[in-house]
Amino acid sequence: MTDTKDGSIYIPASERLGEESVVFFTRRLDPDGLISIYDRISSVLEGKIAVKLHTGEKNGPNIIPRPWVRKLFDERLKGAEIIETNTYYTGDRYTTEQHRETLEFNGWTFAPVNITDEFGTADLPVNGGKFFDHMTVGKGMLDYDSMLALTHFKGHTQGGFGGSNKNIGIGCADGRIGKAMIHTTPGQPDQWDIAKEEFMERMTESTKATIDFFGRKIAYINVLRNMSVSCDCEGTGAMPVVTPDIGIVASLDILAADQASIDLVYSLSKKGKEALTERIESRHGLRQLTYMKELGMGNDRYSLIDIDNNDVVISPADAVEGLPDHWTPDEYNTGIRRI
C-alpha cells in the first residue's frame, strides 16, 4: 500500500477508500463555462458572499481572465465582494497601498475588493491540528456569510501545486502573522525554511480554520488553464506554460475538487504532464491531499459529472481525451489553445 504521508507519491484512485463526493466538470474555458459550472454549486452561497480570488501581480499572464470574473459578478454575484490579503513577500501587494495600486492596474475595479487584513487580524480555531490551535486571518473575512473559492489551478514553487487548499490556506492568512506561521520557523533568517510535508500540513491546517468558520456555506471552483509550474505570485517571471488547458471543476468538497484537478493533470500524456507533475512531486505537494483527508476535510473519491454531456459520469482520462500532447513555449506565447 502506498505511504499516504509521503507527499512525493501519487496515490491512484484504486487505492483510495471511503465515501464519494460530487465534482462537476466542463471543458468550456470561457465566461459561459464558468457561469454554467458556478450554477451547479451556488446553492450554498447566501447572504454577504466573499469571493476568494488570486488577483495577481502586475501584468501577471496566467490569472483567471478578468472579463470572465466580471461576467460572473454581473450575472450571478451582484453584491458579492472579492477578498484578498497582503503578501508575506515584498512586492506589488506587500502593503495595502501597493496592493490597491496593483488591483487598479490589473483592472479589478468592477467589484469591491476587501483586503481583509487592512484593518487588523482575527484568530480562528484549528480543530485537530498538530502545528496550530489557531490561525491568524484578515479580520475583514469574518464579515461574510459565505465564500466562493475561485481558484486558478497551477504549480507552486513551495507547495508543488496551488488549488483551492492553497488559495484559502495561504490566501486567507494575513500577510504578517498568519503567513509567517505557515512559512517560517521563528528565530531563524530564512523566510521560506518550512517546506515539503510540514509546509503542506501547516497550509492545510490554515485552510481548515477558514472552512470550519464558513461551515457548509462554502464552494470551490478550480480553473485548469494556463497551468505554469509557477504560482501567480511570480507574475511575469512565471515559467512558460507547457501543460495543455483542461477545463474547470467545481465541488462543495475542497478535497474532492483538488483531488479531481490533480487526477486530471495526471491523466494527461507523459509530455503533457511531466513539467507540472515533477514540480508537484519534487515539492511533496501531494501531502496536501492526504492531510486534508486525515483532518476530515473531505473525500478523495468522487463522481466526475460532465456537464457538457448531459451529466454523464466520466473518468479523468475521458475528460482529457483528445488534448494535445503538450505545448511548446512558442505555442503558448502565440496563443494556441484547445478552444
Q: So what's the pLDDT on residue 324?
A: 84
Q: So what's the pLDDT on residue 61?
A: 85
Is 234 domain-assigned? Answer: yes
Which grid coordinates are listed for 111? Answer: 467589484
Residue 98 has pLDDT above 50, yes or no: yes
Is 198 domain-assigned? Answer: yes
Which grid coordinates are listed for 272? Answer: 503533457
Is 3 domain-assigned? Answer: no
Q: pTM for the whole thing?
A: 0.95
Q: Give the separation between CA 97 and CA 4, rounded to whole angstroms.
A: 43
CA-to-CA dists, residue 165 to 71, 101, 286, 329, angstroms: 25, 27, 11, 28
The residue-averaged pLDDT of 83-107 equals 96
Is 175 domain-assigned? Answer: yes
Q: How does pLDDT run across 30-57, given as a tens digit for each residue?
A: 999 999 999 999 999 999 999 999 999 9
Is 2 domain-assigned? Answer: no
When mean pLDDT is compared across 74-83, 156-165, 242-251, 327-336, the lowest value belongs to 327-336
Q: Which domain holds residue 198?
A: 13-333
Please count the structural domains in the chain: 1
Nearest to 205 by CA among 297, 278, 305, 276: 297
Is 4 domain-assigned? Answer: no
Is 327 domain-assigned? Answer: yes
Is 242 domain-assigned? Answer: yes
